[in-house]
Each structure stands twice: as C-alpha cells, then as structure tokens.
Amino acid sequence: MASLRGKGTGKNRNERGNGDGFWDRPMLINLLADVLLLAGGVLLGWAGIMALQRLPILPLRELVVATPVDRVSRAQIEHAARSALVGNFFTVNLDSARTTFERMPWVRSASLRRIWPDGVELRLEEHRAVARWTPQEGEARLVSTRGEVFAATSDEALPQFVGPEGSAVLVLERFRAFGEVLAGAGYTLVGIHLSAREAWQLRLADGVVLELGREQAKHPLADRLDRFARHYAEAGRVTRDRLRGIGVVDMRYPNGFALRPRAAAPQS
C-alpha cells in the first residue's frame, strides 16, 4: 500500500509542473500587456479631448469673410455663425459648419479654414440667377447660370422657365440658343416652356407665343426657328405691325406656319 501511494504522489507533481499555465507563457503575457497599454492610451486620449473642449482656451473671436457677397447679408452670416461655429480653435467642426452655411439662400458652396490663433476664414460662392423656375410647394425657385435650380426670391426682371424636374440644364441651353437666333431678328425671348411630351413653346417680349413642337430628325427645331426669324427679319415694318395682332405663331408645319390672333380682351 505504501508503494502505491508513493507512485500516485509522483504523478501529481509531474502534472503540476508541465508549464502549461497562463503565467508560464511569456508571449500571452506580453500580448495582454500590449492590449492593456493600447486601451489605456485610447482612454487617455479621449479624456484629454474632453478636457480640452471644456477648457476656456483659444476661443473663436473672429469670422473673416474672404469673398465678396452680393446676395447674402451680414445678418444672415452672423446668424448662421452662431449655430455653426461651436467650440474653440481646435474643436470647432468645420465640416458641420460648412453644411450650415450652404443652407443659406443664394449660397452654392462654402469653405472654411482656421486662422491662428482665434479666427475662421469663410469663402462663399453665390448662385447667379438667370431665370425663374416653376415654384415647388409654394416655394419660389430660380435657375442659375450653371442650370442649377435653387430656392430663393429675386426682384429682377428674369425670364420664366417651365419644364419637368431635372430639365433645367437643357432648358437653359435651348434658351440661350433660341434667344440668339431671335435677337438677330429683333425679338427678345422672355419665356420658354418644355412640356412632359418634350414639346417646346417660346414667349416673346411683345406677347407673341411660338409653338415649335417636338424635336424631329427631318424638321429640327433650329430650322423652324430660323424660318420664323428670316421671314420676320425681311418682312419689313408693315408686316411687323400686323404681327402685333397675332397671339400664336405655330411653327410645327414642315414648310410653313400658321397664325392665330390674340384673344380679345373682355369688355368691362
């Protein structure tokens, strides 16, 4: 019995001394230490940032508008700056502030940069309106020289554009091309309408409406408008005077056009 107990005791000692425990593995201990150091560094950095935000150091004192502005007022910029420029020189979120300034009417884009030690420089690019666009949900909208539709109001005498959503670039392109042809014949284009069926209608300054219809390979819109411009540029004053009583010129015919008189004004 004594010899049997002695063999069992020796076996247990060998099992405890195999060196398979965690504290007997230097690589695992080093890995754990690295993870703890990394986590501690992250927490320390986060605590430093939080503390920096609360310290009254390097507050923002100046906003410099580095570009001339015509449509955006000083009051609008100051109002936006109060909500956008939050924090100090280091902690202010310039991306969020840029978004706030770009929400202002007439602002196409905005950019900001820090000016040491307590300032922010603001650069604004404004829209340049070229026409009015169909209002949406009661909100007035304009078309810029780039063909972009934006929400704003203007007291200027601008031409009227009407068309499906997303067609402003095309309408502006056609307006410029049509307007150049008509100007050569002595007419001013003040309105252009593109229907959902892609039919074009032009309105002149004297109230005459030109029905051009849809683009066709055999009868392009440019040919129809050139026919009108040539006829009335060479017609003389007598024919021009007669045109004053015309309300609609229908140019959708391949070899000619039809005239419709203006609607009679109702008598009082």
Q: Summarize pLDDT for 95-106 with one digit per residue, the tens.
A: 999 999 999 999
pLDDT at 7 (0 to 100): 44
pLDDT at 235 (0 to 100): 58
Strand-strand pairing, 62-65 and 119-126:
parallel
Q: Give alpha helix (H) positions in 135-184.
A: 168-184
Position with higher pLDDT, 127 vs 238: 127
> Is-contact 147 169, C-beta < 8 A?
yes
CATH superfamily of 62-126: membrane protein fhac (3.10.20.310)
Tell the burial category of 35 from Cβ atoms under 10 Å away from its Cβ (0-12, 13-18, 19+).
Answer: exposed
pLDDT at 5 (0 to 100): 42
pLDDT band at 125 (very low <50, low <70, confident <90, very high): very high
Average pLDDT over the chain, rounded to an integer:
84
> Is-contact 134 165, C-beta < 8 A?
no
The predicted model gives 177-193 an average pLDDT of: 94
Give dist(CA 103, CA 122) in Å, integer.
14
Give me the CATH topology for the region 129-261.
Rossmann fold (3.40.50)
pTM: 0.72
Question: Residues of CATH 3.40.50.11690 domain(s) within the chain?
Answer: 129-261
pLDDT at 232 (0 to 100): 74
Q: Which residue has the tokens 């004192």?
A: 61
Question: Residues of CATH 3.10.20.310 domain(s) within the chain?
Answer: 62-126
